[in-house]
């Protein structure tokens, strides 16, 4: 599919992409760029890449596809650093969890002879780093691609084929719609999870049960990654937190009034909705 693919950022997502690309033989050569030498050594050892470098300009030389897989604000910094040295006709994609901020910044500065497609593979976990990379991470999950007025059709189709080839189901929407939808499906759950953990004291945490563990698994995620997500999708997340506050207030009032029927109805409604979500 590509002669040379360069992945910048070899963590959970970048490392898993390397393993998956190599397994599907989607490139003759996969080059890996990361910040720490330790990550590069590990990426080579597990076979996620063929060649490594700490230098992003050197890493993108002659690459037909460049995948930006670092925390979101770093994606922009790195793109600014490499944009002058991109090969004519290459495609740049990013896998950042918010899309409007990143695609606006990149599209504003991208050279004319290069295409860009924003991507968000809906796969991953609270784990961080190359040690958790898996070649089957993407299989069977959705990947959202974003399209704007500047998106080139051919590049979009090629990237669609790329993700489908890795076993993903592709959906194409605007970056604005992506950020709106994901703020309720992913960013609000994270806000609730971290706020819940931060509201408890040490003794309560020590005696914690399965319920707390189930509701707060994602609070153990990487703080830099989530700081960038919240800062680049602020408005949508603030709106979702407002909706959540309203829901919590309804529950609080039912409890204040000891409203037996109301509480049952509130819990029952949640149970019915939750049961429509698979697993």
Judged by the rule CB under 6 A, the positions of this chain that interact with ligand NAP are: 8-14, 33-36, 39, 69-72, 74, 78, 95-97, 120-121, 124-125, 128-129, 222, 225, 229
For 76, 86, 106, 151, 155, the CA distances from 82, given in Å and listed in that order, are: 10, 7, 11, 20, 19
Return the DSSP state at 243. Answer: H
Could you give the 3-state DSSP secondary structure of residue 135?
A: coil
Residue with smallest beta-carbon separation from ligand NAP: 11
CB of 135 to ligand NAP, least distance (A): 15
Report how far residue 51's alpha carbon sits from residue 243's, in angstroms, rounded to the nearest whole number: 48
Shortest CB 34 distance to ligand NAP, Å = 3
- Considering the complex, state which of residue 34 and residue 151 has its C-beta at the smaller distance from ligand NAP: 34
What is the nearest approach in angstroms of ligand NAP to the Cβ of residue 95? 4
Cβ partners under 8 Å of residue 143, min gap 6: 119, 120, 121, 122, 123, 163, 168, 169, 170, 171
Q: In whole angstroms, how close is the CB of 254 to ligand NAP at the nearest point?
A: 35
Q: Cα–Cα distance between 23 and 92 in angstroms, integer?
A: 21
| Token duo for residue 29 | 């050569």
For ligand NAP, which is the closer residue by CB, 170 or 251? 170
Nearer to ligand NAP, 2 or 138 (CB): 138
- Maximum CA extent, the chain: 68
Nearer to ligand NAP, 95 or 168 (CB): 95
Least separation in angstroms between residue 146's CB and ligand NAP is 13
Nearer to ligand NAP, 139 or 268 (CB): 139
């Amino acid at each position: 599919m590509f002669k040379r693919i360069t992945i910048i950022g070899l963590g959970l997502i970048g490392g898993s992409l390397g393993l998956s690309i190599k397994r599907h033989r989607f490139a003759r050569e996969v080059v890996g760029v990361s910040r720490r030498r330790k990550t590069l050594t590990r990426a080579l050892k597990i076979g996620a890449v063929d060649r490594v470098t700490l230098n992003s300009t050197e890493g993108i030389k002659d690459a037909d596809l460049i995948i930006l897989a670092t925390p979101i604000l770093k994606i922009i910094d790195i793109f600014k650093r490499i944009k002058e040295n991109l090969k004519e006709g290459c495609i740049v994609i990013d896998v950042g969890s918010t899309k409007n901020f990143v695609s606006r910044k990149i599209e504003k500065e991208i050279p004319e002879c290069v295409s860009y497609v924003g991507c968000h593979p809906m796969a991953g976990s609270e784990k961080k780093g190359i040690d958790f990379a898996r070649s089957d991470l993407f299989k069977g999950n959705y990947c959202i691609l974003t399209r704007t007025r500047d998106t080139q059709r051919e590049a979009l189709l090629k990237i669609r084929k790329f993700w489908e080839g890795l076993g993903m189901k592709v959906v194409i929407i605007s970056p604005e719609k992506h950020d709106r939808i994901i703020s309720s499906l992913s960013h609000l759950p994270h806000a609730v999870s971290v706020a819940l953990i931060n509201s408890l004291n040490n003794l309560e945490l020590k005696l914690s049960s399965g319920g707390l563990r189930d509701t707060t698994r994602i609070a153990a995620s990487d703080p830099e990654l989530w700081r960038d997500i919240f800062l680049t999708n602020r408005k949508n997340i603030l709106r979702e937190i407002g909706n959540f506050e309203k829901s919590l207030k309804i529950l609080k009032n039912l409890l204040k009034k000891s409203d037996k029927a109301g509480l049952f109805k509130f819990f029952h409604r949640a149970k019915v909705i939750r049961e429509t979500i698979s697993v």
